[in-house]
Homo-oligomer: A and B are copies of this chain.
Amino acid sequence: MMASPSGGEDGVPRALLEHAVAWSATNGLGMVVNDDKGLFTSTHLPFSLLPYALPADSYEQTKVLAPLFNTLVDRISRDGPWLKEVLKDVLAGDDFTSELVRIHETIEAEGGPRQPVCLAINRSDYMLHVPEDGVTAPHLLQVELNTIASSFGCMSALTARLHRHLLSRFGDEPSSAGKAIRDHAASVGIDTTTTTAAGDGGLGELIPQNPTLTALPKALAEAHKCYGKPDAVVLFVVQPGETNAVDQRLLEMNLWDHHGVRVVRMSLAEIEASGVLGEDGTLTVDGGAVEIAVVYFRAGYAPNDYFGRAEWDARLKLERSTAIKSPSIGYHLAGTKKVQQVLAQEGQVERFLGASESAAVRRCFAGLYSVGPDGDAAATADAVAHPDRYVLKPQREGGGNNLYGPELKSKLDAGGATDDELRSFVLMQRIFPKTQPAVMVNRGKCVSGDSISELGVYGTYLGGGEGKELLNEYAGYLVRTKMEGTDEGGVATGYAVLSSPIVGGRGKAS
């Protein structure tokens, strides 16, 4: 399957492609198409026709790391003085983080949170870095840790099922579809002759089960149970008029089907308009008829979710309430880029975790440096000399804000020693993953080529305060794949596609 700039079929067997798209339609792997046909038209979510090969030891490593990052986030969030010290540098250059810090301080000044229990649904994003020395084995480096609104978890469970289905259904079939699958597996280092004999599911068994669809609802349900009122609901904070919410809806449906927990969906502005905070901190909506047990943010992670004071007032109101937040303001702040950079400094992870845990976590840290006045001069100079080896990141979630190459160089050149705004940026070692062949499917059309993939790993955590871990679990994975050379990576926009790992220890080294 060769790359084709025209987006043609590239020799992908029609039967395989149509089967994959049909599977998506019958299994909910869809997204809303907001076009003139109305808001209720949808198509399949862009997916990789075949999986991404991940070394078995890297896959196992991510399952170990997830609960460690959960604990780390919880402990950071409860260390107000440390957070304040770390984030003071970004206040001048970053209005958004400043607002979050102000809410944190307001709550502290009011005597601390009324609800000590916090729910984290974290996602640590990694890439498999191939060291330039050509000797050291490829290993995972952390791109970032997301502590708010991590999306595509449920859709990733479906993508894994799709891949398991395709590999088991066609993997040992003497058809052109079967051959295409075996050729792909071989090209990414999976030995199909031994693995197809492994079990009933054939090659499909090499796609690990992805527990997101049970683990994420379970975490919300545990928080709901912890709140203690069966009739209270989980509030999903969503963007106004949000329609492409299939991933969120899957979570909502599973929460009802398996836990009997109800969900209401509201925007921050709607919450400000109708949410009422009782004297005891109880939060109700709908004229007092509905009590909120858990607040789950799927919006509110970026400046453009705050249209004015109403949204910030809503955020403060939620934070002041006794509802369990996912995330609390502390968890949100623990996920900032600045915190990530400071943790990479000597002794900082060790402040929160034991020696062996810290060592395990550090193994996935990329080089991370401060810039601007009092920044890391040596790293800054190296980045100016070799801009392609770094990426310059502002305190922003959601992608599309990072600076690369010439842009990075000129930003550092212009204000390296004097620009206060630069303090809010973080300079990061650029990760160079090995490419793999992929077939991206978007609206039923295939594009083949060399791709790179990013692995996201979910962790769920229910913290009771004072170190009490009421829940601390690995909660599944997400793989996003994009063609080599593409800087942007949105799945909904089709630049990236969802995939899943094929973990083939029996094959040749990948």
Contacts and interface: CB of A to CB of B under 8 A. Distances in A.
A23 interface: yes
B262 A39 contact: no
A244 to B, nearest CB: 10
Contact of A444 (B35, B40, B165): B40
A443 B28 contact: no
A41 B41 contact: yes
**Of A22, A175, A245, A289, most B-chain CB atoms within 10 Å:** A22
Name the prevailing secondary structure of the A interface residues.
Answer: mixed
Contacts of A256: 165, 169
A25 interface: yes
A209 B359 CA distance: 54
A250 B26 contact: yes
Contacts of A15: 264
Nearest to A254: B26
A33 B39 contact: no
Contacts of A26: 28, 246, 249-250, 253
Contacts of A252: 22
Q: How many copies does the complex hold?
A: 2
Contacts of A39: 444
A169 B41 CA distance: 25
Contact of A38 (B200, B262, B443): B443
A21 interface: yes
A42 interface: yes
Interface in A14-45: 15, 21-23, 25-28, 30, 32-33, 35, 37-44
A199 to B, nearest CB: 13
Contacts of A38: 43, 443-444
A173 interface: yes
Interface in A226-278: 245-246, 249-250, 252-253, 256-257, 260, 262, 264
Contacts of A30: 25, 30, 42
A1 to B, nearest CB: 20
A467 interface: no
Contacts of A37: 33, 35, 37, 41, 43, 443
20 contacts: A15-B264, A21-B40, A25-B246, A25-B249, A27-B28, A30-B30, A33-B41, A37-B41, A38-B43, A38-B443, A39-B444, A40-B43, A40-B443, A41-B43, A41-B443, A42-B42, A165-B256, A173-B262, A175-B289, A175-B290
Given A25-B30, A37-B43, 11 more contacts: A22-B253, A25-B42, A26-B250, A27-B253, A38-B43, A38-B443, A40-B43, A41-B43, A174-B289, A175-B289, A175-B290
Interface of A: 15, 21-23, 25-28, 30, 32-33, 35, 37-44, 165, 169, 173-175, 200, 245-246, 249-250, 252-253, 256-257, 260, 262, 264, 286, 289-290, 443-444
